[in-house]
């Protein structure tokens, strides 16, 4: 879940529009909201599937490994 949490923080920090991301990736907005919304309680947040992570990272033009957990976490 740490990857989803880190990606969520990045999307929030960058002000990425989830509707635009949904249109570009083909992932339903509701799924993106359930996984990436910082308003969601972390315990209720939906973990991203691997294919969703790859599509989102392509959209953001970032490396998925950028969101991997650090050894210290």
Structure tokens at 58: 């392509």
pLDDT in tens, 8-63: 999 999 999 999 999 999 999 999 999 998 666 777 788 899 999 999 999 999 99
What pLDDT, on the 0 to 100 scale, is given for residue 2? 85
What pLDDT, on the 0 to 100 scale, is given for residue 70? 60
64 neighbors 53 (Cβ within 8 angstroms): yes
13 neighbors 66 (Cβ within 8 angstroms): no
What pLDDT, on the 0 to 100 scale, is given for residue 71? 45
Start-to-end CA span in the chain (Å): 12
pTM: 0.85
Per-domain residue ranges for the chain?
A: 2-64
Rounded Cα–Cα distance for residues 16 and 6 (Å): 14
Enter the DSSP assignment of 40.
S
Q: Decide if domain 2-64 falls under CATH 3.40.35.
A: no
Q: Check pLDDT > 70 for residue 1.
A: no
């Amino acid at each position: 879940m740490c990857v989803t949490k880190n990606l969520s923080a990045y999307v929030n920090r960058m002000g990425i529009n989830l509707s635009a991301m949904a249109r570009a990736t083909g992932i339903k907005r509701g799924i993106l909201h359930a996984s990436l919304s910082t308003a969601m309680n972390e315990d209720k947040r939906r973990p991203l599937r691997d294919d969703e992570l790859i599509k989102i990272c392509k959209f953001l033009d970032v490396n998925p490994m950028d969101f991997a957990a650090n050894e210290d976490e």
